[in-house]
């Protein structure tokens, strides 16, 4: 691991902010590092307000989108709500369809089959709409590149409204409305909404017609916060407000589907991290192992007994998903070693029988192992399909764009993307991708980085300090949990490896007469560094440890040296 200590912010700015807010210098320094330098900015950060949610009509085409939907409702048209099969897509479909069903009984939902139709808008989906007399399709979390598909639908008399957040290509589909804050011609003030976030802006826009306030739309925010966490969008600006209130909803009054999924989870208060590691994999498992509509059905179900049955099914899909991705990851690691590819700048593997539903997870696991921009390919019909994952600081979307001569279609983000290509293009693409990455990536990006906010002493870790620190949440890209470093630590002598396979490190660190419990997940291999009264330094976040009704502060070790 590469430790990087963030530069100290300007002392005069930090001192002024500390006095203004009546907080200590460490807290003020953490705020300045996050771009917060004034009282008003700090107030917005610590007390997210619904007043900071933007007017939906600032988004280009929002007026056209709402007008077309209201016309469809007034004319009793059949409306299809269409979305991607991942968490962002299924929550988007659940959000918009459940809202529209309060206005019309002519709403149907559609999620493409990952295997028969692939990602995004499909001809099969459009034909299904045509066969069922559907005249309006509202597509969420995909569609920004569906130029030919939208044209095909138009010939069949079907209108399209696109709600997406992925990067547009040079051309925009000829739809009735294209809602996407990343459009070059869109002046919407916040660009980092997820697909479900764009869907929320749409129901906010529709709500104006029915004199609904943002408070009336509160029940939908449990879906929005889940998508924000799962899609790894920045938790800054408007996303921070939506996430903050979304967590309140999911903790106080979640929809029936979430209640069913959480029935076995013994957690008092869910955080964004819990949504990412507990809820998101289960929602994703439906689309990976069976069909994304199972997730939509669960998220829109209003009968608890039925929702519990759906949740049990999804639990089985998730269990099968775990076994499948573990098995494929092991095979991929063997392939990398056999081909002696660990010295390359990229990791690209392919096996025609790998389960298409888990290749994204496998790509993430390989990235964790070799820390390279990674692609995992499998056979998908007559084509090869791949999931791409990247390392911190490297834009894999741009790298794929530079290889576009070999690619049939691709889309995604800076750190995650998907693509398809003809089988004969696999080796030329693999070679080109290695060339592009090796010539554009900085060598240091190939070593995982721990970004350290500041140096901290154990005597500075007080209950008051932690109470303020807790208010930095919700955490995520753009506002990660503060990371600290302390030098000159010693173990009290009772450090040990824990867990069934002894992978984790548990110890009590001390310095200058102060000691604090610490846990280091997957740091069991570092045990020798803390024995025999050796001094060491540690990088960590601060957390609460709840045990038998007692609550105490602990360090969550990220690395030791």
Look-up of token digits 């693509």: 419
Q: What is the DSSP letter of 166?
A: S
pLDDT, position 549: 75
Do the strands 78-83 and 134-140 form a parallel or antiparallel pair, or are they unpaired?
parallel
Q: Specify the pLDDT at position 241.
A: 98
**Mean pLDDT, residues 96-118 taken together:** 95
- Quote the pLDDT of residue 547: 79
Q: What is the DSSP string of 416-435?
A: EEEEEEEGGGHHHHHHHHHH
Give me 224's structure tokens. Answer: 């929005």
Task: Identify the structural domains of the chain with CATH numbers, from first to last.
Answer: 2-6+450-560 (2.40.50.460), 56-312 (3.90.1640.30), 339-446 (3.10.310.30)
CA distances to 161, 325, 400, 531 from 373, in Å = 34, 19, 11, 36
| pLDDT on residue 545 | 87
Is a pLDDT exceeding 90 seen at residue 264? no
Cα separation, 261 vs 10, in Å, equals 47
C-alpha span between 292 and 357 (Å, rounded): 11
Q: How confident is the model at residue 413 (pLDDT cuts 50, 70, 90)?
A: confident
- 375 by Cβ neighbours in 10 Å (0-12 / 13-18 / 19+) ranks as buried
Read off the pLDDT band of 411 (50, 70, 90). confident
pLDDT digits (tens, 9 = 90+) for 211-252: 999 999 999 999 999 999 999 899 999 999 999 999 999 999
The predicted pLDDT at position 339 comes to: 83
88-93 average pLDDT score:
98
Identify the pLDDT of residue 461.
Answer: 96
Helix (H) or strand (E) holding 559: strand 550-560
- Reading the block at residue 80, the tokens are 């299809």
Band (pLDDT 50/70/90 cuts) for residue 356 is: very high
Two tokens, residue 85: 């099969």
| DSSP letter string, 105-124 | S-EEEE---TTTT-SS--HH
State phi, psi for 288 to the nearest 5 degrees.
Answer: -75, -45
Report the SS3 class of residue 13: helix
Question: What is residue 506's three-state secondary structure?
Answer: strand
pTM as predicted: 0.91
Q: How many residues does the chain have?
A: 561
Predicted pLDDT at 237: 94
pLDDT at 343 (0 to 100):
81
Residue 61, number of CB atoms within 10 A of its CB: 22
498-546 per-position pLDDT tens digit: 998 999 999 999 999 999 999 999 999 999 999 999 999 999 999 998 8
Q: What angle do CA 364, 367, 372 make, to 5 degrees?
A: 145
pLDDT digits (tens, 9 = 90+) for 127-179: 999 999 999 999 999 999 999 999 999 999 999 999 999 999 899 999 999 99
Percent of the chain whose predicted confidence (pLDDT) is above 70: 100
pLDDT of 548: 78
pLDDT band at 110 (very low <50, low <70, confident <90, very high): very high
- Residue closest to 331 by CA, chosen among 311, 355, 307: 355
How far apart (Å, rounded) are the C-alpha atoms in residues 98 and 455? 48
Question: What pLDDT is stored for residue 232 in this prediction?
Answer: 87
Q: 457: number of CA atoms within 13 Å, CB side? A: 6
Residue 341 has pLDDT above 80, yes or no: no
User: What beta strand segments (E) does 316-469 contain?
Assistant: 347-350, 374-380, 383-389, 409-412, 416-422, 449-452, 454-455
Percent of the chain at pLDDT exceeding 90: 92
User: How far is it, in rounded angstroms, from Cα 223 to Cα 437?
Assistant: 36
- Report how far residue 383's alpha carbon sits from residue 426's, in angstroms, rounded to the nearest whole number: 10
Per-residue model confidence (pLDDT) at position 451: 95
Q: What is the dihedral of CA 320, 322, 323, 328, to 10 degrees?
A: 120
* pLDDT at residue 261 tops 80: yes
C-alpha pair distances (Å), 56 with each of 60, 142, 210, 250, 515: 9, 19, 15, 23, 51
Q: What is the CA angle 34-38-39, rounded to 5?
A: 115
Q: In 3-state terms, what secondary structure has residue 139? A: strand
C-alpha angle 216-222-225 in degrees, rounded to nearest 5: 115
For residue 254, the number of C-alpha atoms closer than 13 Å in the C-beta half-sphere is 24
Residue 342 predicted with pLDDT over 80: no
Query: How far apart are the two ends of the chain, measured CA to CA in Å?
Result: 10
Q: Kindly indicate the confidence band of residue 54, based on its pLDDT and cuts at 50, 70 and 90.
A: very high
Q: What's the mean per-residue pLDDT of the chain? A: 95
Question: What average pLDDT score do residues 44-53 get?
Answer: 94
The dihedral sign for the CA sequence 276, 282, 286, 290: positive
């Amino acid at each position: 691991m590469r430790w990087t200590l963030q530069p100290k912010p300007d002392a005069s700015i930090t001192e002024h902010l500390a006095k203004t807010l009546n907080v200590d210098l460490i807290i003020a320094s953490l705020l300045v590092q996050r771009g917060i330098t004034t009282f008003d900015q700090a107030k917005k950060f610590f007390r997210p307000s619904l007043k900071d949610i933007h007017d939906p009509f600032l988004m280009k085409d929002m007026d056209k989108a709402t007008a077309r939907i209201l016309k469809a409702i007034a004319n009793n048209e059949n409306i299809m709500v269409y979305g991607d099969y991942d968490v962002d897509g299924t929550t988007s479909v659940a959000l918009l369809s459940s809202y529209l069903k309060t206005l019309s009984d002519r709403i149907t939902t559609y999620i493409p089959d990952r295997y028969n139709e692939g990602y995004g808008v499909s001809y099969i989906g459009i034909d299904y709409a045509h066969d069922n007399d559907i005249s309006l399709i509202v597509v969420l979390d995909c569609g920004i590149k569906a130029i030919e598909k939208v044209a095909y639908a138009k010939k069949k008399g079907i209108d399209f409204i696109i709600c997406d957040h992925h990067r547009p290509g040079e051309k925009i589909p000829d739809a009735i409305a294209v809602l996407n804050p990343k459009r070059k011609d869109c002046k919407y003030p916040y660009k980092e909404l997820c697909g479900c976030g764009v869907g929320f802006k749409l129901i906010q826009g529709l709500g104006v017609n029915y004199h609904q306030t943002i408070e009336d739309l509160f029940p939908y925010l449990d879906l929005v916060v889940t998508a924000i966490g799962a899609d790894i969008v920045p938790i800054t600006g408007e996303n921070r407000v939506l996430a903050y209130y979304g967590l309140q909803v999911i903790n106080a009054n979640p929809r029936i589907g979430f209640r069913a999924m959480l029935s076995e989870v013994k957690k008092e208060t869910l955080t964004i991290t819990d949504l990412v590691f507990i809820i998101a994999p289960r929602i994703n498992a439906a689309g990976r192992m069976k069909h994304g509509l199972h997730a939509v059905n669960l998220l829109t179900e209003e009968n608890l007994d039925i929702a519990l049955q759906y949740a049990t099914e999804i639990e089985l899909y998730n269990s099968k998903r775990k076994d499948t991705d573990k098995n494929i990851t092991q095979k991929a690691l063997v392939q990398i070693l056999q081909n002696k590819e660990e010295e390359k700048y990229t990791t690209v593997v392919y096996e025609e029988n790998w389960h298409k539903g888990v290749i994204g997870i496998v790509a993430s696991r390989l990235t964790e192992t070799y820390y390279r921009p990674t692609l995992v390919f499998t056979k998908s019909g007559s084509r090869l399909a791949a999931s791409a994952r990247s390392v911190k600081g490297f834009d894999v979307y741009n790298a794929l764009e530079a290889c576009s001569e070999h690619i049939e279609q691709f889309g995604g983000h800076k750190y995650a993307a998907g693509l398809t290509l003809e089988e004969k293009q696999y080796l030329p693409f693999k070679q080109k991708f290695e060339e592009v990455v090796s010539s554009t990536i900085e060598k240091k990006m190939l070593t995982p980085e721990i970004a350290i906010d500041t140096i901290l002493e154990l005597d500075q870790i007080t209950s008051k300090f932690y109470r303020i620190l807790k208010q930095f949440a919700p955490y995520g890209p753009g506002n990660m949990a503060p990371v600290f470093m302390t030098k000159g630590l010693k173990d009290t002598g009772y450090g040990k490896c824990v867990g069934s396979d002894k992978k984790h490190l548990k110890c009590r660190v001390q310095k200058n007469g102060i000691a604090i419990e610490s846990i280091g997940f997957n740091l069991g291999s570092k045990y020798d560094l803390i024995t025999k009264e050796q001094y060491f330094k540690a990088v960590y976040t601060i957390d609460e440890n709840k045990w038998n009704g007692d609550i105490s502060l602990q360090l969550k070790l990220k690395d030791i040296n």
